[in-house]
Structure 1
């Protein structure tokens, strides 16, 4: 099975630099709505919006590609309305690359309101209790109507912990669903990515990586991590799988957005990441500063009139003080949530760019910490 010539031309990935000490690489992933420079963090905009952030503000953080969710957009407003608007790009006012998750993660996260079978997954709508039948074919239909640059294959993400038999069954189902996704996906200006599952069982992960890689899709993702397993287990999964994935396609680690975990994964050759973490932390008053998490609600910031992070060019850091941000959160003001969300997103984009610079300059490592003055890569921050 090979990709169509049209898809291969529209969705090209090329590595532009390799780290001499690790498997890390810089690359460019071309899509119809622009190119993504890797390694790169992708903000999550589940319902067609990154919470509290306008598209212009999002672009100013350095974001290049944004995620949205098939299941949630199907519930509200419905893919037909998005298609009427000219597709998700026009509907949400974002002209850069977009990726839609398949709804497969909701098979895991909404396990108490769904029933899984080989045919697909039946959900009970959390809005009105109505029956939602999501199959691989339906997921493809919805994602094609939404029109993102990248659609994800419908998969079953097993919980942690799960027995080897249960994970093996989820893998079997995921691979059968992938074949059905490939058969039903016929939008040539949209790339379809496969997903490698397998839990924490190395032999199941290896088998899944080889099965999904053989489908010759424009990109491939590692799923089923950051779902409750020990963090070292996730590192082991990435170290095992990355060498098995195609070198000429983007490699996407789903649901990961902490700096340490990103650096370790990039060192293995991972290119793309996503996570709700930066905006979720920001909405709850936590700022990412120098590799640490600062709770701006703490009293120690009440009289601190210095910038949040003097090295950061975001609106929170260039226009306001720590004391002001503390005041906003203590007062329950919406602006505080917006400013810290922008700051945290900017930190993830800066970290992505700093990793790329360090890779090109040959000073990247798994313990990459560019904010430390003595670090070999300090100038990249």
Structure 2
């Protein structure tokens, strides 16, 4: 049995312990001090920078204000001139993001066994926590007899606020023009299709079949739903993340296409072959710093190469594989353009066609962004791939 991580501290001269939870994979803090409404932002910021976590016992709204004040102190730090090398700028930007997350993650709040926050003026976060964490952990009580308080869990306030925000997005949903304005409702930890241009590509590309399609790494199920709305009779949508599987099933049912879409757990491909196989892998070959970043960062292009190398085995002779991929990694110097073309050839694939779209998100126009040059040049493409031996005259 895997016991939950334990965090320990001293309060009122008494040793205390509780369970520790971090969706970002942060380890339990080694040092904790008790803080409340009397704590000054400068002191909190200094302690957090030194690696000391702050367990909040005051008013919940004041804790949010303290977190904002700590963020302002991080943002006030003198900014270095961005390096001319865009790859170095990317790594420095990621390091700054990680530093910010680590410092702000040091402000902790308690959760009781029912996922309530026992602080004055705390909001009701039970629904957000249950949707993100699940209804509970049956083994927690048994694990707690060996040390931690079974009724208390410590979490980062920053993470808790993210759970609240994610739950609001889940309730509100994201409008998808390619679905006629219907909404997709992302779950916590599942990549949101807020950047709709890649969805539009799948809605516009000429369909090679209406019989069967595979959607690899379905996430919210948005691409499978678009294919179903376009008239594809059967779609097998795969993912290996339990949250994504639940999210895709909920969305396809909500959109009325569950009868066409089968959502199954698989690492990349389901069994068999299909005349259309669609995949939108993570776009940036860099190491994720938390589990929720796996939809964006893919070390060594694992999913990209896994999809390409397995495509020939799962594609029907005249079928098409649709790879939806941004070239941001190329503009960041993280993946040469020739690497992608070489990967096609090594996998026995040829390019049958390509559709491109420029990004519409605000960051592409934000000149203050340290990665603005790369973002402004970004292009998202739908590569139509076929088996190399199916034709000798495919357009390139």
> What TM-score range do you get, normalising by the shorter chain?
under 0.3
TM superposition score normalised by structure 2: 0.26
Name the structure with the higher strand share.
Answer: 2
TM superposition score normalised by structure 1: 0.27
Larger of the two Rg values belongs to structure: 2
